[in-house]
Structure 1
């Protein structure tokens, strides 16, 4: 009993350092976002194309670097790669001060994207390695809450600090990332123990006579493909809500559409805090299925909403479903990946989120222009159901979490 209790204990101080490092890193990352458009126009006299390039350049390198960062974390250690990411974000803050020109600013943003990918991916796998096996899904979800908290606070503080000048924003970006670096370095880089972090089918574990994976399989492991595809499909609904829910409700005669977006964000975070343990308890595949259905239902309600209260109900339903979808799919990846390659697998899986937003961003704009705003949410609902179909096609692992076995044995 003592051994079981010890195995279920959460290393709170270590997780505080990892979660805090992620929060501060994203605090610094996103403080520049609301400031950069005006900076580009004022300093360089550039137009919307240049503004879009500067703001979104980080997504390009993050998309490409996440699997590499995960692979490096597997090989050289989570703390080393995560702290390198925080250091690159801080370096980006310092480089904003320099008169590098528009091309130099784009290069800085590409560098910051490398830092973001390294910070998030290495930390995510680190959390899994620190978590008790039956709490991995819950802590993956809380890790995401730390990221979104940093994003929300960072954008607000960046816009507020602009009143003191661009230098205040750049200085805050640097200081926040350096604080994150200190928090990360406060966590001991303990060697891996014999405790497995995932139950991996023997067929997926390289054996003595097994075939070594090629380079592309190292950076894009097979366990990440189907859950990643499901995540990319599910991202269509989020892209639609973020871009068009306010305009959709304005067209319906409601001028407070931002309320629906705010409710979605609050429910998204609150769901992970309150019921984030469900993927561990009920099984990742089952929760991913119901989460995708919930996202689709919420989007359908928003599409048909005649007024703000109905749209808010849709935001609540979608927020609950979409909140648990990512940790459930991530847990499916971890359950199928070899423990020595979990960083690369999780990095590749997360890249599908960036890929999905990159694809759906332009496409939903076309859908809105051709078919109208309600069609955006209908299309998102169809994609969410497609994500459910993909998640159901993933073969269950040979061994289940103990919690799932207990639930089934008592039912």
Structure 2
């Protein structure tokens, strides 16, 4: 290089704050396109590598049907959960359960007023559970075939119509038939709404979405029973039935604008079993929790009267408060640390609650037991419902939801009978010792399932790897 050219290169490098490029070695580089007078164009090789990586990422995303993974871990934005459809579905869940729970505290008194016997009170209050036990799996299948919104409408319509017709029912037979119709609503609406929530929730935040669904049911249990009692005392039972029917009717208008996401199995008529086998294990674990709640709802008034625990309604109030507070936290935690680490503390809290009741001799212990029961239900139900959905294909989410909810129906029918036999052979406190022991069995069963692969989610190709790399919810249990 001549002296004048060398001076020009040095001056240009100083002006731009850069060091002069070293003299290139002689060789094949002079024949590569982009090389001028022995110097390679800056960034050419790097640009080719970036273009190749970008093409690979786009091809991977096209095959997976999702947005390309950008390579970030902790800085990746969380996918959006709260959409218009998600919020309206939650609001519809609150409205449906509120219309049902208006009757919770007034129905026994109404049966007594129209001349029903004591045993008929139990039949009217709990006999409708036989309908969800039979119908819920079919509601799950219909939801999976792209009819979630239709199933949701069916549940709300049957609930509104049956509640309104109760103003004309003044005998036990007609009242029982109307309760069976309400069982249709209980089989269809919660199944469809839970399936809708699972479909609307992005995979990395599915547990959080399921937790919000559970929180909606908890909110609906907190105030409507007390409102129903107050309305019945002021204006009579017919006013309660009309308010409940109006709530269901308004809820039907609330969910009407919801856009149902497309279903992968829409239009498929065959090959879909009613009971997806991978969802049976979470259901069997959750049943050890629902049996304990059958014990509290059936025998807690007797225990409170026997030991002078005061107003046992405080127990259910604390259950609702704790469940509402814990569910969103439990759902978000299950997305980050896994379903089993959240379900296990829920089972532990359930055991503690039942054994607290077995030795309770003061209202304070009753309150503590109520808070533990609500926290245990929130953790166990949220994590196990998310696990049941995780373990099945996307085309079976509705049926997985229905299978897990069957634990409530089975316990509602069999729990009172089985635990009633325990109370007859021993005493009422033994019911709670036995319920806590059953939850211990659930803990052991969950750990066995974890060790044998019963908690392993269904493997979704590519998308699962992207979610794992993005630092969101684990696709495999982390411990």
TM-score > 0.5, shorter chain as reference: yes
1:313 aligns with 2:373: no
**8 A Cα contact 2:124 2:176, kept in partner:** yes
Structure 1 residues 398, 183: CA separation in 2 closer, same or farther (over 3 Å shift)?
closer
Alignment of 1:64-75 (within 5 A): 64-75=134-145
Corresponding position: 1:125 with 2:185: no
Deviation at 1:49?
A: 2.9
2:417 corresponds to 1:362? yes
Q: Given the superposition, is the C-alpha separation of residues 408 and 16 from structure 1 closer, same or farther in structure 2, using an over 3 Å criterion?
A: closer
Q: Report the Cα distance in structure 2 between the residues aligned to 1:325 and 1:171, rounded to whole angstroms.
A: 35
- Counterpart selection for 2:319 from 232, 257, 264: 264
| Alignment deviations for residues 238-272 of structure 1 (CA, whole Å, 9 cap, x no partner) | 22233334543554454355434432332122111
- Structure 2 vs 1, CA of residues 269 and 306 (structure 1 numbering), >3 Å: closer, same or farther? same
Are positions 1:39 and 2:110 aligned together? yes
Query: CA, structure 1 residues 132+120, in 2 after alignment: closer, same or farther (shift >3 Å)?
Result: same
Q: Name the stretch that deviates more: 10-19 or 242-251.
A: 242-251
Out of 385, 388, 391, the position equivalent to 1:330 is: 385
Report the equivalent of 2:154.
Answer: 84
User: Relative contact order: is structure 1 or structure 2 higher (C-alpha 8 Å, sep ≥ 6)?
Assistant: 1
* Contact persistence 2:144–2:263 (CA under 8 A): no
SS in 2 for 1:277: helix
| Unmatched tracts of structure 1, length 5 or more | 195-205, 207-211
User: Match for 2:278 among 218, 223, 227?
Assistant: 223
Matched, 1:175 2:246: yes
SS at 1:186's partner residue? coil
Bigger radius of gyration: 2
Secondary structure at the aligned position of 1:191 is classed as: coil
Query: Retained in 1: the 8 A contact 2:200–2:261?
Result: no
Q: Aligned to 1:396, which of 456, 465, 471? A: 456
Higher helix fraction: Structure 1 or Structure 2? 1
| Native 8 Å contact 2:327 2:382 kept in 1 | no
- Is the contact made by 1:25 and 1:86 (CA closer than 8 Å) also made in structure 2? yes
Q: Which residue of 2 aligns with 1:209?
A: none
The alpha carbon displacement at 1:282 in A equals 1.2
1:54 is aligned to 2:124: yes
Contact 1:26–1:154, Cα closer than 8 Å, also in 2: no
Give the length in aligned residue pairs.
Answer: 390
Q: How does 1:4-403 map to 2 (within 5 A)?
A: 8-43=79-114, 45-99=115-169, 101-162=171-232, 163-192=234-263, 213=271, 218-245=273-300, 247-392=302-447, 393=449, 394-397=454-457, 399=459, 402=468, 403=472
Which 5+ residue runs of structure 2 have no aligned equivalent?
A: 1-66, 71-75
Q: Does the 8 A contact of 2:345 with 2:379 survive in 1?
A: no
TM superposition shift of 1:295: 1.6
- Residue 288 of structure 1: how far off its partner (Å): 1.6
